[in-house]
Amino acid sequence: MTKLVLLSDLYFENNQKLNQRILSLFNCDQPSIGYVPSCSDTDRKYFEHTVRYYNQLGIQTIDYYDLDSEYEENRFNIIFENNAIHLSGGNTFYFLSLLQKRNAMGLLRSYVNKGGILIGVSAGSILTTPTIEIAGYGEDADENHVGLMDKQALALVDFEFSPHWDGTEEALDSLRDYAHANSTTIYACKDGGGIVIDSEVVESYGDVRRIN
């Protein structure tokens, strides 16, 4: 029973319908979330932003698990005891390289297959798809500064995800070109929106467009 949340960003303006749907995925009164940054967040700036987001949803237990300079294998393995795992935004290529380096890809797939909730934001959302190729596409592409060759991602869904859609038809046309060239389906998502996958059903919240 796959439970995924793919967000374009962490939006603090009231999106009550999406917020309530995220909460409905948890089958407990006091859920816990393990936060994984795309790179070390040494001053916890982005982590604290995420904590505030979940606090407004009524979730109080959010813990930080680093894959980069603060990585501790024994500590990271505890993350799978949480009700949900949150994959942050950032550079998608670097994030995937860390997941590969720490042998976390199979562990995350197994976690989801056993009923764990995986929540992605921007790069974290792209990581749930079959490939991160789209992260390097377009004007605001991530830079592959680590020279990552294996761009296969978690493949928990059969489509690709394009966050931060600016609402223009021009951007959609560019994504259509990508979709046709790669024989794929893309969900383009504006900030403030997202996708919830619950038992294979894809639900869209906010301004989301399906392209194929």
Contacts of 110 (CB under 8 A, 6+ apart): none
Q: What is the CATH number of the domain that holds 124?
A: 3.40.50.880
- Overall average pLDDT of the 40-44 stretch: 96
Q: State the helix-helix crossing angle for 105-113 and 92-101, rounded to 10 degrees.
A: 90
**Span 124-133, average pLDDT:** 98
Number of domains the chain is built from: 1
Does pLDDT of 12 surpass 90? Answer: no
State residue 185's pLDDT score. 98
Structure confidence at residue 129 as a pLDDT band (50, 70, 90): very high
pLDDT digit string, tens, across residues 74-121: 999 999 999 999 999 999 999 999 999 999 999 999 999 999 999 999
- Percent of the chain scoring above 90 in pLDDT: 92
Flag whether pLDDT at 14 surpasses 70.
no
- Residue 11: pLDDT band by 50, 70, 90 thresholds? confident
Nearest to 2 by CA among 110, 130, 104, 163: 110
**Which amino acid is present at 61?**
T
Chain position carrying tokens 């894959």: 67
Single pTM value for the model: 0.96
- Does the pLDDT of residue 13 top 80, yes or no? no
The percentage of the chain sitting over the pLDDT mark of 70, rounded to a whole number, equals: 100
For the segment 189-197, the average pLDDT, to the nearest whole number, is: 96
Query: Mean pLDDT of all residues in the chain?
Result: 96
Q: Residue 199 is part of which domain span?
A: 3-211
Task: Compute the half-sphere exposure of residue 199: CA atoms within 13 Å on the CB side of its CA.
Answer: 1
Taking only the tens place, the pLDDT of each residue in 171-180 is 999 999 999 9
Q: Are strands 186-189 and 160-162 parallel, antiparallel or unpaired?
A: parallel
User: Taking 90 as the threshold, does the pLDDT of residue 15 lie above it?
Assistant: no
